[in-house]
Amino acid sequence: MTLAARTLDYGFRDHVVGRALDCALEPGDVVCLLGPNGSGKSTLMRTLLGLLPRLAGEVTLDGRDLASWDASARARRLAYVPQAADSYFDFSLREMVEMGRTAHRGVFASPGAGDREIALAALDRLGIAALADRPVHAVSGGERQLALIARALATQAAYLVMDEPTANLDYGNQARVLEEIARLKQAGIGVLFSTHHPEHAFRIADRVLLLAAGRLAAEGPTLPTLTPAALSSLYGRPIEVATITLADGTLHRVCVPASPP
């Protein structure tokens, strides 16, 4: 049971973003996608979700071609956290999160008591239950981002694809989201997330994919793959990886841009 791409070409009809890419996400697996701006991370994620058609190769979900899944069944297996954007409709946060239950009840059915309970629990897990009845336009961009994550949790999907889930969040809420991803792993849910912070990968990812100009520059287990040399090559400037000891004695890795030689 995996979400997988094999020899995948992806992008747009008039512009190929990436070629011949192989990757896989298994249940209980946390994979971090790293790369500079414009490297194709969001386009890859949208292709893995079926939101963009693949140009060549294949994308499979649990061994079946992704295109063979009907939209409702696919939505029950795959959930998406996009980067936060303005909404054109003034839903409350509760209503926004309840939309994550649509695949379970049908597009035109009203949320039942169970749907409402699951949505409120998801808001509570992200620390924003008190804002449940607040209109989307009346909350901050960070709070809207947390609601998008709550909506994905409410789907109860087996795989979550999260495009920069910590963007727009303060330091405390970034930590909250990373802790939630770690709990999802313990529950057997596969998570693919992108970030501009390699430290997030060190903290919670089992594996990393380093994407440069639409191709995998490196992939593998986090610690041996995220080396200073790999990060420096990926971002085009010297980066050092330092290990610090926290007050409880655990080790924590941080990245520090170094002065050019």
Mean per-residue pLDDT over the chain, rounded: 92
Nearest to 49 by CA among 21, 20, 82: 82
Binned at pLDDT 50, 70 and 90, residue 63 comes out as: very high
Q: Where are the chain's structural domains?
A: 3-226, 227-261
Q: What is the pLDDT of residues 145-164, one digit of tens each?
A: 899 999 999 999 999 999 99
* Amino acid letter for position 5: A
Q: Are strands 159-162 and 78-81 parallel, antiparallel or unpaired?
A: parallel
**pLDDT at residue 12 in the model:** 94
Helix (H, G, I), strand (E, B) or coil at 64: strand
Q: What is the pLDDT of residues 180-238, one digit of tens each?
A: 999 999 999 999 999 999 999 999 999 999 999 999 999 999 999 999 999 999 999 99
**pLDDT at residue 88 in the model:** 53
Nearest to 144 by CA among 81, 79, 191, 80: 81
DSSP state of 92: B
Domain range 3-226, CATH class: alpha beta
**pLDDT at residue 140 in the model:** 87
